[in-house]
Amino acid sequence: MDARYEPKILALICTYCTYTAADMAGSLRLQYPPNVRVVKLLCTGKVDVLHLLAAFKAGADAVMVSGCEIGDCHFLEGNLRAKERVAHAKELIAEIGLEPERLEMFHIGASDAPQWAKAVEMMTRRAKELGPSPLRKLEAAALAAEGVAA
Amino acid sequence: MIVAERKPFAEIAQAVAGYRRVLVVGCGTCVAVCLAGGEKEAGILAAQLDLAGQLAGRQQRFATACVERQCDREFLSELDAAAREHDALLSLACGAGVQFLAERHPTLPVLAGLNTTFIGVNQDVGRWDERCRACTDCLLSLTGGVCPVTMCPKGMVNGPCGGAVEGRCETDPERDCAWTVIHARLSDSDRLANLEVLVPPRDHSRANLPGRQAHAAYLRRYSSHD
Ligand code: SF4
Ligand code: SF4
């Protein structure tokens, strides 16, 4: 594996719990890998299977969805729906030959900044072990062919 | 409603492998309700095929469309312009819808993305059970609203086969014997006398040809036997 490889990880996280934890991680100056790009959602219940597939199409090496802890969703069951959809999307990407481990669901409470840092570390380690997404390589090749710097 | 399920992904991917521009066509009625071929499922399948095509290094494009029903010309006509822009159509309708779409576009390959399974009912979100085999001579008024043709694996129409054990079917102890259920239903609704009625052998002349029927008003208007 290329030692210079830095995975691009998309995180879809909810504003009530995980985003608050991530914010607190910043205030606490906790260190964690800079590979994650955060998209804040009102609730992980908004996450759709199509969004997850689109993330891989756009070249994400890994995708994490993180909502409130089970039973703590601000909208009661948004995180449970997200959990189901992540499980479904894992099957869908496995069907096309992409490792399902590139996608994972987390439940991180608003006060749990260290847990957020750990989750990002874990996903970054995993993405490094898996190597770049084959779709990302193709995307880069397509951009290069069009003369756009990746 | 008609119940169907998506074909295995590998089978679909292989069927579309040779075409560059593929239109995935959903159907908004039965197969949307059974979460197999509606707008949502068409979108997901197209996204999956798109990624799989990229991984395989194929230059393919997948677009999606969804009509209210693929078994009605007035809705299929909405697709005519889009169909002309594609090399193949992948239909997510039941078998009837796929055939009607293919009939409309005889020069285009029209491929089936679903396996049509049965006429059934919605038991719960995500669970369906078969209820009718479209036998053309319905017995439900006699049999307490329980279909012996469908619910009895042997299709016994004049009483049980005699193999039931404690009310369970001899072919599968997980299932109720259809005739035990019929008996209970007739007893509960005070119609046990129905059991005395003998059902004659089926008139297969109606069932061994592709079915065709016309409404009386249609016949009056066109005075045709078509
Ligand atoms: S008898 Fe059964 S299979 Fe025949 S039409 Fe009635 S429900 Fe359908
Ligand atoms: S046990 Fe009942 S349901 Fe099963 S085959 Fe016999 S009559 Fe039909």
Q: Which CATH class is domain A9-145?
A: alpha beta
Output the CA torsion sign for B134, B139, B140, B144: negative
pLDDT at A89: 98
Average pLDDT over residues A71-79: 95
What type of residue sits at position A83?
A: K
Average pLDDT over residues A81-101: 97
Nearest CA to ligand 2 atom 7: B160
Domain spans, chain B: 2-118, 134-196
**Residue A134: Cβ within 10 Å count:** 15
**Residue B64: Cβ within 10 Å count:** 21
B143-174 pLDDT, tens per residue?
999 999 999 999 999 999 999 999 999 999 99
CB spacing of A49 vs B50 below 8 angstroms: no
- Calculate the average pLDDT of chain A: 93
CB spacing of A54 vs B10 below 8 angstroms: no
Q: Considering only CB atoms, which chain B residues are within 8 Å of A93? A: 51
- Calculate the average pLDDT of chain B: 95
Look at residue A148 and tell me whether its pLDDT is greater than 70.
no
ipTM of this predicted structure: 0.87
**Residue B49: Cβ within 10 Å count:** 24
Give the residue from B112, B113, B105 showing the smallest Cα distance to B44.
B113
- Say how far residue B136 (Cα) sits from the centre of its chain: 16
Q: Considering only CB atoms, which chain B residues are within 8 Å of A50? A: 43-44, 47
- Percentage, residues of chain B above pLDDT 90: 88
B35-71 pLDDT, tens per residue?
999 999 999 999 999 999 999 999 999 999 999 999 9
B6-30 pLDDT, tens per residue?
999 999 999 999 999 999 999 999 9
pLDDT at A1: 56
B174-185 pLDDT, tens per residue?
999 999 999 999
Average pLDDT over residues A42-60: 96
C-alpha to C-alpha distance for B192 and A119, rounded to whole angstroms: 66
pLDDT at A139: 66
Residue B151 Cα, ligand 1 centroid: separation in angstroms? 10
Question: pLDDT band for position B212 (50/70/90)?
Answer: confident
Look at residue A150 and tell me whether its pLDDT is greater than 50.
no
> How many interchain CB pairs under 8 A, A with B?
38
Q: Which CATH class is domain B2-118?
A: alpha beta
Look at residue B205 and tell me whether its pLDDT is greater than 80.
no
pTM, 2 dp:
0.89
For residue A75, the distance in angstroms to the closest alpha carbon of chain B comes to 21
Q: Which long-range contacts (CB under 8 A, 24 or more apart) does B54-58 make?
A: B54/A57, B54/A135, B54/A138, B55/A96, B55/A97, B55/A98, B55/A134, B55/A135, B55/A138, B56/B17, B57/A138, B58/B17
A7-40 pLDDT, tens per residue?
999 999 999 999 999 999 999 999 999 999 999 9
Average pLDDT over residues B74-94: 97
C-alpha to C-alpha distance for B62 and B50, rounded to whole angstroms: 6
C-alpha to C-alpha distance for B188 and B160, rounded to whole angstroms: 18
> A92 and chain B: CB distance < 8 Å anywhere?
yes
Residues within a 6 A CB radius of ligand 2: B 152-154, 156, 160-161, 163-164, 169-171, 177-179
Average pLDDT over residues B97-125: 97
pLDDT at B213: 87
More confident residue, B160 or B208: B160
Verify whether ligand 1 is closer than 6 Å to residue B135 (CB atom).
Answer: yes
Q: Which residue has the tokens 């049509």?
A: B116
Average pLDDT over residues B199-209: 81
Residue of B43, B50, B55 lying closest to A134 (CB–CB): B55
CB spacing of B55 vs A97 below 8 angstroms: yes
Look at residue B224 and tell me whether its pLDDT is greater than 60.
no
Average pLDDT over residues B190-208: 89
The DSSP line for A78-139 is: HHHHHHHHHHHHHHHHHHTT--GGGEEEEE--TT-HHHHHHHHHHHHHHHHHH-S-HHHHHH
